[in-house]
Amino acid sequence: MNPFDADVLRDLLARADYPAIAALCAGSHPATAADVLEGFSPEQVRDILRHLEDQLRADIFTRFSLDFQVDMITLLKRREVARLMTDMPPDDRADLFKSLPEDRRQVILPAMAQAEREDIRRLTAYEEGTAGAVMTSDYASLHPDLTAYEAIERLREIAPDRETIYTAFVVDGNRRLLGHVSLKDLIVARREKLVGEMMETEVISARVCDDREDAARKIQKYDLIALPVVDGSDALVGIVTHDDALDIITQEHTEDMEKFMAIAGSHDTGAYLRTSSLEHFRNRVFWVTGLAVLGLVSGFVIQSFQGLLLQFAILAAFIPMLAGAGGNTGSQAATLVIRALSLKELSYRDVGMILWKEFRVALMLGVLLGLVAYSRVMLIGDGASIPEGFTLHQIGSAIALALALQVVTSTLAGAMLPLGASRLRLDPAVVASPVLASFVDITGVVIYFVTVKLVLGI
Amino acid sequence: MNPFDADVLRDLLARADYPAIAALCAGSHPATAADVLEGFSPEQVRDILRHLEDQLRADIFTRFSLDFQVDMITLLKRREVARLMTDMPPDDRADLFKSLPEDRRQVILPAMAQAEREDIRRLTAYEEGTAGAVMTSDYASLHPDLTAYEAIERLREIAPDRETIYTAFVVDGNRRLLGHVSLKDLIVARREKLVGEMMETEVISARVCDDREDAARKIQKYDLIALPVVDGSDALVGIVTHDDALDIITQEHTEDMEKFMAIAGSHDTGAYLRTSSLEHFRNRVFWVTGLAVLGLVSGFVIQSFQGLLLQFAILAAFIPMLAGAGGNTGSQAATLVIRALSLKELSYRDVGMILWKEFRVALMLGVLLGLVAYSRVMLIGDGASIPEGFTLHQIGSAIALALALQVVTSTLAGAMLPLGASRLRLDPAVVASPVLASFVDITGVVIYFVTVKLVLGI
């Protein structure tokens, strides 16, 4: 088998050798084929897809990025789209359907069979970000009164249409979830053993409205192949699989990082290059401008202490260090707390313990940075600019104390704000690092000038 | 079955009802049992573990955090440890072994059987962070000349000792990897079909020295249950499973976020509360102090332009906005590039395209922030403090231009530095956001004062 890459495909396309292209696609992993194809124009890809078998076409199409899928759909005939979507896994099909423009949806839906129409309606009904919105309806279910042998036979029959048969869910007549059984256990068991006897009844499951990240974390914690999703009446309606969990966790992490850096917008994978400059600008402009305005507020504070600055010119030299130390220590505390909250290591009930811990850390950092500032003043402080009646030691102590106070308040703010957000059921990552830094800039300059005034007795 | 929680367990422990505790443990998912037990003292847990069956004990023990495992080991007798570790999955056993103090290792190793000793030696030989260091040796392998029926029989026999039998790897006499076959395909196939005929020969695999994150990403991309790991002579030596991939990706995320916020130290899950204040201090102090010193450098620059500041007092009011805008736009660009690099959407070959895109985004942001600053000067600029011969318009334009230049250079630096790090085969996340912010603070004040001087012709 030849390796499948862009150069090979370009050659074959030039010769319009579609049978050879189809053979290459069939011999490769669909993810590999999708990778190579996505580098070509939608028109070229359409011509290639038309030469593939139905299932292979759907397998490759499913691996395209959602944007590329939507582009492709507009190039295909109504019948072709209906056939393609019929062969797609239900969860990916529902995702694609949600991304199509309304008029396109209205055209495609009637071209599909009743069962698929219903399935799309059901899966697209759940709110984005829930377990319901990411689950697939292609799960394997069994009745408890089957024997192990019969169960394996049944799984063998339904295998081609199921996302996985390695975990089968045992349901009663009302589809109420009773337990689950793994194909491994079925194979190892005596042939005549009943599914109902051997099934695991402590079922880990999610509800349709649960957060999709919580569902993914359950898959991680319990090493599951598939997590069953039940509705309000405990009836099994779908599963979330281990590969979905990986994608969910990756996406949530991108989202967390971008939120934390105050970047808005879509968090799909593969988004950076596909997003236009104007879109990138729009995703960043809101916060960048907002933070610039906060920066102006710090500026006002500095301006209002102009008299003090003119009297003690050395004070200006410590403003960048003050702002930096506040932003950095605050953001570090926020990062640790946000990450621990997202991994469910902490909850807002631990607030006392966290603040006490961060207070001690901040005190150590604050004292150290205070000493650095004090040394800087004593070693290279400019004696000439100090007004009559004040000593370098006094000024150094004032600056050191202000810096230590700033570090402690910033660290506590950095730890407390994500906890507060989680208390309010907001995503802790909304307390973005730049926002935190800009806020502690403002409190920092106030703390700085007020402390210096008090210590120097002005 | 009663629910298994800390209160129930406390009651049972008070009555020393170990048979009831053992029944509860057996009826729960090992991850649930481990969660509950980890809330009790190592001594109590030791007494409970002693009342469990061998395999159940190992299943629960494996789910404890590594720290708790190490604590427990010191409480157990040499023979008990050897038996426990024999029943653990090879990859978790190797991780535990690596975490034990040297003297403890020397005591335990001789108490284990030859096969396990060899296995531990092999698995602990690979460097941390590689696929070799996370793989397990409990994979299922088949010979190509077995029939589907024989293959299923073989998998049934070895199932209890294997991490997964859902993907079986086909090897020749020298353990060279020929292909793989899924249990699903074996079950669906005709009984007499040969494994060698039905196996998938386009095998996605990793090498022992590959980065563990790359291995996890392959599992994600190709939706694998297990990724085979081969040594230098293409012989199969282990597998990385889908649940390992989830743990690897979660840990790498935590590591990326902490690195990006300039936090050092261990990135194990569950680390926040277990880490002492002093340890937290140590993980943050290096960068916080280093960055504070960089802040002092900015301070020196400001001090050296003291004359200009005294002449145009309004300039001081824009320093926080300048520093903030540089840090924020630079960090945003760095975040997007680092994330895209880590998801393999970009590589340093895209440098031209990325810089051009970021340049356009930065130009838009720079012009906008310049306008904000200009308006601020014109609207509330303090006319009184402007020296003879200069107009507000001149000063506003100078500040606006300086700000725009700062945003463009910071954004380009934010995009370029992670690309440079990746070019040097360093983790792009070493270009931590606070470090970047502190650097562009320094370049920012230089750009600011020099631009203002040039524009005002001083």
pLDDT per position as a tens digit, B413-446: 999 988 888 888 887 877 778 888 888 889 999 9
- Smallest CA–CA separation between A117 and chain B, in Å? 27
- Smallest CA–CA separation between B420 and chain A, in Å? 18
CA–chain centroid gap for A62, Å, is 21
The share of chain A scoring above pLDDT 90, in percent, equals 55
Lowest model confidence (mean pLDDT) among A237-246, B242-251, B259-268, B388-397: B259-268
Position with higher pLDDT, A343 vs B305? B305
| C-alpha span between A50 and B18 (Å, rounded) | 66
Q: Return the residue of A nearest to B245 by Cα.
A: A246
Phi, psi angles (nearest 5°) of residue A203: -90, 125
- Contacts for B456 with CB less than 8 Å, ≥ 6 apart: B390, B394, B395, B398
- Contacts for A362 with CB less than 8 Å, ≥ 6 apart: A329, A333, A407, A408, A410, A411, A412
Q: How many CB atoms lie within 10 A of CB A25?
A: 25
Residue type for position B247: D
Q: Return the residue of A nearest to B359 by Cα.
A: A277
Question: Nearest CB to A324: which of B187, B291, B325?
Answer: B291
pLDDT of residue A286: 84
Q: What is the CA radius of gyration of chain B?
A: 30
Position with higher pLDDT, B363 vs A286? B363
Mean of pLDDT values over B148-177: 94
What is each CA distance from B357 to A272, B152, B220, B341, in whole angstroms? 10, 55, 29, 16
pLDDT of residue B1: 45
| Contacts A274 to B, Cβ<8 Å | none
Phi, psi angles (nearest 5°) of residue B231: -95, -170
**At residue A27, does pLDDT exceed 80?**
yes
Phi, psi angles (nearest 5°) of residue A270: 75, 15
The domain locations on chain B are: 6-125, 141-241, 272-456
| C-alpha span between B160 and B354 (Å, rounded) | 51
Alpha helices in A203-318 (DSSP H): 212-221, 242-260, 271-274, 277-304, 306-311
| Contacts B300 to A, Cβ<8 Å | 317
pLDDT of residue B382: 60
Q: Which of A246, A344, A411, A435 to mutate to test the interface with B (most CBs of B within 10 A)?
A: A246
Half-sphere exposure of A155 (CA within 13 A, CB side): 32
Size of interface A-B (CB pairs under 8 A): 340
Pick from A261, A294, A266: which is nearest to A282 by CA? Answer: A266
- Smallest CA–CA separation between A110 and chain B, in Å? 32
SS3 A14: helix
| Contacts A253 to B, Cβ<8 Å | 249, 253
| C-alpha span between A375 and A285 (Å, rounded) | 40
Which one-letter DSSP state was computed for residue A125? T
CB A228 within 8 Å of CB A145: no
Residue pLDDT, tens place only, B209-226? 999 999 999 999 999 999
Mean of pLDDT values over A71-97: 92
Q: How confident is the model at residue A1 (pLDDT cuts 50, 70, 90)?
A: very low
Question: Nearest CB to B365: which of A220, A281, A294?
Answer: A281
**At residue A383, does pLDDT exceed 80?**
no
| C-alpha span between B274 and B57 (Å, rounded) | 24
Q: How many CB atoms lie within 10 A of CB B14?
A: 8
pLDDT of residue B267: 52
- Contacts for B418 with CB less than 8 Å, ≥ 6 apart: B334, B337, B338, B341, B428, B429, B431
pLDDT of residue B266: 59
CA–chain centroid gap for B64, Å, is 20
| C-alpha span between A270 and B182 (Å, rounded) | 30
End-to-end CA distance of chain A: 84
Q: Which of B261, B308, B411, B446 to mutate to test the interface with A (most CBs of A within 10 A)?
A: B261
**At residue A391, does pLDDT exceed 70?**
yes
- Smallest CA–CA separation between B209 and chain A, in Å? 23
**At residue A250, does pLDDT exceed 60?**
yes
pLDDT of residue A420: 86
What secondary structure does DSSP assign to B49-86, as a single string? HTTS-HHHHHHHHHHS-HHHHHHHHTTS-HHHHHHHHH
CATH number of B6-125: 1.25.60.10
Residue pLDDT, tens place only, A92-113? 999 999 989 988 899 888 999 9
Position with higher pLDDT, A343 vs B415? B415
The share of chain A scoring above pLDDT 70, in percent, equals 97
Question: Nearest CB to A28: which of B202, B256, B309?
Answer: B202
| Contacts B247 to A, Cβ<8 Å | 220
Question: Nearest CB to A288: which of B262, B309, B329?
Answer: B329
pLDDT of residue B94: 92
pLDDT of residue B161: 86
**Is A296's CB within 8 Å of B247's CB?**
no
Q: Which of A156, A272, A283 to mutate to test the interface with B (most CBs of B within 10 A)?
A: A272
| Contacts B270 to A, Cβ<8 Å | 343, 345
Sign of CA pseudo-dihedral A350, A351, A355, A358: positive
Predicted TM-score (pTM) of the model is 0.85
- Smallest CA–CA separation between B394 and chain A, in Å? 19
Question: Nearest CB to B325: which of A278, A295, A368?
Answer: A295
Q: How many CB atoms lie within 10 A of CB B329?
A: 32
Residue pLDDT, tens place only, B283-320? 888 888 888 888 888 888 888 888 888 788 788 888 88
Fold of A6-126: MgtE N-terminal fold (1.25.60)
Q: How many CB atoms lie within 10 A of CB A404?
A: 23
pLDDT of residue A220: 94
> Residues A421, A426, A432, CA angle at the centre, nearest 5°?
65
CATH of B272-456, one of 1.10.357.20, 1.10.10.10, 1.10.3720.10, 1.20.120.1730: 1.10.357.20
Supply B11's token pair: 């009651």
Name the average pLDDT for chain A.
89
pLDDT of residue A381: 66
pLDDT of residue B381: 66
What is each CA distance from A162 to A54, A143, A157, A352, B313, in whole angstroms? 16, 17, 10, 48, 72
**Is A331's CB within 8 Å of B360's CB?**
no
Q: Return the residue of B nearest to A204 by Cα.
A: B29
Task: Please state which architecture CATH assigns to domain A141-241.
Answer: Roll (3.10)
Half-sphere exposure of B219 (CA within 13 A, CB side): 31
Q: Which of B28, B288, B309 to mutate to test the interface with A (most CBs of A within 10 A)?
A: B288
Question: Nearest CB to A289: which of B152, B303, B368?
Answer: B368
Residue pLDDT, tens place only, B320-358? 888 888 988 998 888 888 888 888 778 878 888 889 999
Supply B454's token pair: 């040039």
- Smallest CA–CA separation between B110 and chain A, in Å? 32
Query: Strand A236-241 vs strand A226-230: parallel, antiparallel, or unpaired?
Result: antiparallel
CB A68 within 8 Å of CB A94: no
- Smallest CA–CA separation between B11 and chain A, in Å? 22
| Contacts B55 to A, Cβ<8 Å | none
Mean of pLDDT values over B272-287: 82
**Is B316's CB within 8 Å of A293's CB?**
no
Q: How many CB atoms lie within 10 A of CB A355?
A: 17
Sheet holding B206-207, edge to edge: B206-207, B226-230, B236-241
**At residue B383, does pLDDT exceed 70?**
no
Sheet holding A177-182, edge to edge: A141-142, A167-171, A177-182
- Smallest CA–CA separation between B139 and chain A, in Å? 14
**Is B272's CB within 8 Å of A335's CB?**
no
Q: What is the ipTM of this complex?
A: 0.84
SS3 B178: strand
Shared fold status for A6-126 and A272-456: no
**At residue A278, does pLDDT exceed 70?**
yes
Helix axes B54-63, B42-49, angle to 10 degrees: 150
| Contacts A445 to B, Cβ<8 Å | 320
Q: How confident is the model at residue A439 (pLDDT cuts 50, 70, 90)?
A: confident
**Is A325's CB within 8 Å of B287's CB?**
no
Mean of pLDDT values over A344-348: 79
Q: Which of A339, A350, A412 to mutate to test the interface with B (most CBs of B within 10 A)?
A: A339
Lowest model confidence (mean pLDDT) among A409-413, A443-447, B264-268: B264-268
**At residue B156, does pLDDT exceed 80?**
yes
